[in-house]
Structure 1
Amino acid sequence: MAWFFGLGITGVVLLALSLVFDGVLDGVLDGWLPLPDVAGFVAATGFGGVLATEVLDVGPVVATGCGAGLGAGAAWLTYRFGRALTHDRTAAAPRGTDLVGTSGNVVTAIPADGFGEVLLRLAGQPVKLAARSTAPVARGTEVWVEAAPTATSVVVRPVDR
């Protein structure tokens, strides 16, 4: 039973190392199997052998077979879960050009020949950006974004109401 505990603990240590070093140790197996899959197999084989020995009261050969079966299942689940996580596609990240046509407020007055600051909402989050305008705009004025020339600046005009 001590061998099975050793395998289980070794698998847990391998899993911890694969998480801490985040893919650095994946090259150990030449890309054949990801290290978390191997760690899952080793840990489940060891702890499955312990369970088979204690619960089923079987010998080491049968316990090894039970542990290997459980280990193969754990490795397969780890592999499928890892693939699902790495192939997960989320919505597109918001971009500066998504600001065009939105409204905001001036937080630092915009001079006619320089930059001020505006507070806008991008994907529901407040964003403070540098802003230019063709005419001076006072602090607190509501403005519309006409263009986003860079990721950190916008061109605005006052809202006519």
Structure 2
Amino acid sequence: METLYLSCLAFGVLFALVSVVLGDLLSSALDGALDFLSADAGGIFQPAALAGGVTAFGGAGLMLEKYAELGAAATAGLAAMIAIAGSMAMFFFYVKPMRNSETSSGYSVRELGGTIGEVITPIPAQGCGEVLIRIGAGVTNHTAESFEGRDIPAGSRVVVVEVKPDALSVAMMNERGDL
């Protein structure tokens, strides 16, 4: 049984090293062939959680065999329970929070209505200028026109009133932040 426990422990350590050090390289090299192992598939049966359980089984089995005075079946059963607990802990304290923390920087132009921006290229009364709008942690530039048909100088705070196919229609805000 010691060989089984040692093999499980070695597998878990190697899996961790390979996934951390070579994970991105292998994913690129295999061109998505292992995408079925991604965090979106399998519910609680994630590769990282399962590997954590196998590693816990091996480590617990070795420790119990050496320090506990139990029979082989009791040692294997207790090691299996520790592995299940370790796998669940890995899923709920690492895999799931990491999956929930993934964010996207993508947005739709239609979502810009009501957002506040700053004019970086003056907007003439009958023409277009440019506004800078913060989206999440980033910024984006868009062509803009005056909603009210007035000149809007560079540096002015504006609000997007309407999203048109070719430009954002914006209105200047006063110093208090009102329209």
| Cα 1:123–1:15 shift into 2, 3 Å | closer
> How many residue pairs end up in the alignment?
156
Question: Which of residues 102, 118, 123 in structure 2 aligns to 1:110?
Answer: 123
User: Structure 2 unaligned runs (5+)?
Assistant: none
Q: What's the C-alpha RMSD, in Å, of the aligned pairs?
A: 4.3
After TM superposition, give the deviation of residue 6 of structure 1 in Å.
2.0
Q: CA deviation at 1:130?
A: 2.1
TM-score (norm 1): 0.63
Deviation, 1:127, is 4.5
Residue 149 of structure 1 pairs with residue 149 of structure 2: no
Match of 1:43 in 2: 55
Deviations 1:28-53 (A, max 9, x none): xxx69443343223211100011112
- 1:137 matched to 2:152? The reply is yes
In structure 2, C-alpha distance between the alignment counterparts of 1:69 and 1:113, rounded to whole Å: 73
Moved more, 98-107 or 130-139: 98-107
CA-to-aligned-CA distance 1:92-143 (integer Å, 9 cap, x gap): x976555434554321122455431123445686554321224443323443
| Shift in CA distance, 24/9, structure 1 to aligned 2, threshold 3 Å | farther
Structure 2 counterparts to residues 32-111 of structure 1, below 5 A: 33-58=45-70, 60-79=72-91, 84-85=96-97, 96=109, 99-111=112-124
Residue matched to 2:35: 24
Query: Could you give the per-residue CA deviations for residues 48-90 of structure 1, whole angstroms, max 9, x where no partner exists?
Result: 0111123325565443333222112223444555785598599
Residues in 1 aligned to 2:66 and 2:152: alpha-carbon distance in whole angstroms:
78
> What TM-score comes out, normalization by structure 2 length?
0.58
Say if 1:25 and 1:128 are closer, same or farther in 2 by CA, change over 3 A.
Answer: closer
In structure 1, list runs of 5 or more residues that go unmatched: none
Q: Is the 8 A contact 1:6 1:46 kept in 2?
A: yes
What percent identity do the matched residue pairs reach?
A: 23
